Amino acid sequence: MGLINYIVPFIILLTIVVFIHEYGHYYFAKKYGVGVTDFSIGFGKEIFGWNDKSGTRWKICWLPLGGYVKFFGDRNVFSQSEQQEVIRKYNKEDQKKLFILKPIYQRSIIVAAGPLANFVLAVLVFSIINIISGKDMTPAVINQVQEGSPAFSAGMKKNDKILSIDNKKVESILEVSTFINSSTAEIIEFLLLRDDQEISVFVRPNLVESTDSLGNKIKKRMIGIQLSVPNNELQKKPLGPSKAIYYSFKEVWFYSVTSLKYLGKKVIGEGDFSQLGGPIKIAQVTGQVAEHGIIPFFTIMAYISISLGLINLFPIPMLDGGHLMFYLYEAIFGKPLSQKTQEGFFRIGLFFLLFLMFFVTFNDLRSFG
């Protein structure tokens, strides 16, 4: 696949996800009367842009790895000592447009609206896919158990129906591999239906080198079973709007919790770091998925949108979660952190984000070796 086949789908996907994120900030900023001077997709020098009737500059910039909304009179830090300076600098009319003079709850909503918009986008995408393409409802019935495998040792048998994995209800054959590989437990509990009786078995999966559906090298947890697909065709059922939204919320919740558990494992030094990817890996997967059609492309977009929403809620200065952390302090103690303290936290946050970007990029390049 040519480099252009990676880059173009990646830029399209990232532009949509970033636009939705920043529009969340923008929408609630306008709702609460905050002035918005810039709405940028990308960083660096402007390629092109325009001014709307309220004076906001909408622009596309050269480096398409993010975006930002800049508020009127914007500054990164704000302390009580600065408030009088701000009030003296602007007239009464302009003061109404200042983000930093808005109540804490309004500032918090404006900041949280970006990640929230990412979750809403994911729910919307999954809902549309569930309505148009349908959701797989093929029951997870075991067709074969490999002799000597973890499943064989645990007592799994042919014709067992998998009802749940680690207390997560299995509604589709496609969920079995997902639930096994997303589990953080060393031993996984399976609830099976055998001869009209429910039984529990406990399986310790093997970690083996494998490839995903796109041919990328991955490490998978395998238990040694083959599932039965009647007539070699999945039983996809189009859903009505209410069920489509229900399953979309369920998918967003599952992916969010699974991602947090995965990252939690990394924080304490456990698990496989090889699957932690950055922009290069995302671009590669996006390009590969785009070749399979519009629905896989929008599916990966939904997952990346969730990831962006989650990451931005982390309590790291410079991210939305870092700002919310400062507002929580202000709400509890009745005053913001000092300017010097906030600036110190921002430096730490910048260092951490640069280190993380370096690490995932190195991980991406190593995976091509």
**SS3 state of residue 173:** coil
Mind telling me the catalytic residues? 22
**SS3 state of residue 209:** strand
Residue with tokens 């730490």: 348
The CA distance from 364 to 279, in Å, is 8
Rounded to 5°, angle at Cα 296 from 294 and 302: 100
The partner residues of 143 in beta bridges, in order of sequence, read none
DSSP letter (8 states) at residue 102: S
Distance of CA 134 to the CA centre of its chain: 23
- What is the length of the chain? 369
Joined tokens for residue 114: 């970006």
Residue with tokens 């952190």: 337
Dihedral over Cα of 108, 311, 13, 291: its sign: negative
**SS3 state of residue 50:** strand
Residue type, 243: K
Joined tokens for residue 151: 């499943």
